[in-house]
Structure formats: structure tokens, C-alpha cells
Amino acid sequence: ALINPSVMFIENGSRIAVAARLHATSASQRSGTFEGKSVQVIEDIWHSRIVLGSFSLNTSEFHQWHTKGELRRLQKVPLRPWTGLEDDHQRDWSSDILCPREKYIAANNTLVRLKVTGPEDPKIFKRL
């Protein structure tokens, strides 16, 4: 799914830049260990990537967007994956290092682990 889009006028308002999050989820279950105990491990994985694109905008399209909130071409913009984000140690955020969370549930001896594979909620800004 394509979620959380961010848009900005560029080139004196003649084009629109778009950034969005390409998102999917998957899950797996396996046997593992936690604090020396045998447990069931449930991994919930959020597969996230930032995608970027831009397109020209004519006056009638802008008017329709401004008055009716519709911009049909936004759904057809070719978007390319962005891979330039690194952490403080110059590691690519596509590894398993982003936002790991674990919760142990003693009642059923289960470890629930969340992994996020990329950044969320892109924002476009212009450096002044």
C-alpha cells in the first residue's frame, strides 16, 4: 500500500514533488529462546520504503484540486524508491536495526517481536 503522502510545489508552482511510504506487513512464527527459556516467537515485520516522484501541473488540474480536493493524476505518478537514509553509524536503515520492539507474554510463553525495515512518514521540505 502507498500511504502517508507528502507533496510540495516546486519550479515556481509548475510541478509537484511527491514523497510517500510504500508499506506492507508480514508475520512468522517459530520456536526460539528468550532469557534462557524456550518460547514461541512471533515476528511482525513492517516492510517500509520511501518513494519519490514529481509531475507537472496545469492550471485546470490545480483548480480542480483546490476547489474539489481531487487530483487524479497523483495516483499515476511514477515513483522511485529512495535509498539514501543512514543512521548515525552510516548503516542503511533497511537492515533489522530500526525500531526493534519485543514483548514477552508469560501467560502463553510467547515473545512478540516487531521489526520495521525502513523509515516512515516522509516529509518534503525546501532548504532556505
What is the value of pTM for the model shown?
Answer: 0.71
The set of residues, in sequence order, having a beta carbon less than 8 Å from that of 33 and lying 6+ positions away, is 39
Cα of first residue to Cα of last residue in the chain, in angstroms, is 33
Question: What is the rounded distance in angstroms from the CA atom of residue 50 to the CA atom of residue 52?
Answer: 7
Would you write out the chain's pLDDT as a tens digit for each of its 128 residues? 888 889 898 888 888 899 999 999 999 999 999 999 999 999 999 988 899 999 888 888 888 878 888 777 766 788 999 877 776 777 766 555 567 789 999 999 999 999 888 888 888 888 87
For cell 492550471, what's the residue? 59
Which is nearest to 83 in space by CA: 53, 50, 54? 50
pLDDT tens string 26-60: 999 999 999 999 999 999 999 888 999 998 888 88
pLDDT of residue 53: 92
pLDDT of residue 110: 97
